[in-house]
């Protein structure tokens, strides 16, 4: 989905559409290491208006993403809903604007009079991912001894103090995966 700046009427425009799954890449939320992929079409509603220097885009997205539970690594699917707002400016304005704006407003620079809405939606989907993905609130996670999924039942390992070296290894393995 793209919006052509010269086709935006003075009164602005509203768009509702569906972005198919395959228009998105893998989603990553760097702060928490949550990685996910879009698992269904994403519904997007937009209100687009011309501003003095460019275009404002206010949007709402609704979709689903699949990711691994952060404790037991089982794949789960989460609803992802998110509101967003962008100030879009022609790329020619970039140098000037970068010096002016020190706040963290979402500014998007476009080239050739085209605003790549799909890329903005991709960015916002990643932001909308949960901070900590869990298959359920009380997920028991994996056994630190044998790696079995404890939600599926007791693995039979002895309870009690865990071999710290093995626990460290398991931890490392989980983080790598
Ligand atoms: Zn889990
Ligand atoms: Zn075990």
Instruction: Give tens-digit pLDDT for 142-154.
Output: 999 999 999 999 9
- Looking at all shown ligands, the one closest to residue 155's CA atom is 2
- What pLDDT is stored for residue 93 in this prediction? 79
The pLDDT value given to residue 102? 47
pLDDT in tens, 93-110: 776 655 555 454 688 999
Q: Which two tokens stand for residue 110?
A: 């476009």
**pLDDT confidence of residue 153:** 93
Q: What is the pLDDT of residue 173?
A: 62
- What mean pLDDT is predicted for residues 102-127? 86
User: How far is ligand 1, taken at its centre, from the CA of residue 131, in Å?
Assistant: 14
Distance 74 CA to ligand 1 centre (A): 6
Residue 69, pLDDT score:
93
Angle subtended at Cα 169 by Cα 33 and Cα 136, rounded to the nearest 5 degrees: 50
- The ligand placed nearest to the CA atom of residue 140 is 1
Work out the widest C-alpha separation in the chain, in whole angstroms: 71
Which range, of 12-16, 39-43, 89-93, 168-172, averages the lowest pLDDT? 168-172
Q: Where are the beta strands (DSSP E) in 20-160?
A: 27-29, 34-38, 42-50, 55-68, 75-90, 107-110, 114-116
Per-residue confidence (pLDDT) for residue 94, from 0 to 100: 77
CA 133 to ligand 1 center in whole angstroms: 8
pLDDT score recorded for residue 160: 66
pLDDT above 50 for 7: yes
Length of the chain: 177
Q: Dig out the tokens for 43 from the structure.
A: 């519904």
Cα 176 to middle of ligand 2, angstroms:
20
């Amino acid at each position: 989905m793209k919006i052509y700046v010269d086709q935006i009427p003075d009164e602005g425009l509203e768009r509702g559409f569906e972005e198919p799954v395959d228009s998105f890449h893998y989603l990553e939320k760097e702060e928490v290491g949550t990685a996910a992929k879009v698992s269904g079409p994403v519904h997007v509603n937009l209100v687009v208006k011309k501003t003095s220097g460019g275009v404002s885009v206010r949007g709402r997205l609704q979709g689903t993403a699949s990711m691994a539970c952060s404790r037991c690594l089982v794949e789960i699917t989460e609803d992802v809903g998110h509101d967003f707002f962008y100030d879009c400016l022609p790329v020619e304005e970039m140098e000037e604007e970068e010096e002016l704006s020190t706040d963290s407003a979402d500014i998007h620079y476009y080239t050739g009079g085209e605003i790549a809405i799909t890329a903005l939606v991709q960015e916002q989907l990643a932001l909308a991912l949960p901070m900590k993905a869990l298959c359920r609130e009380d997920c028991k996670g994996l056994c630190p001894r044998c790696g079995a999924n404890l939600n599926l039942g007791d693995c039979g390992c002895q309870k009690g103090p865990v071999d710290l070296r093995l626990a460290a290894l398991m931890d490392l393995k989980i983080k790598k995966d």
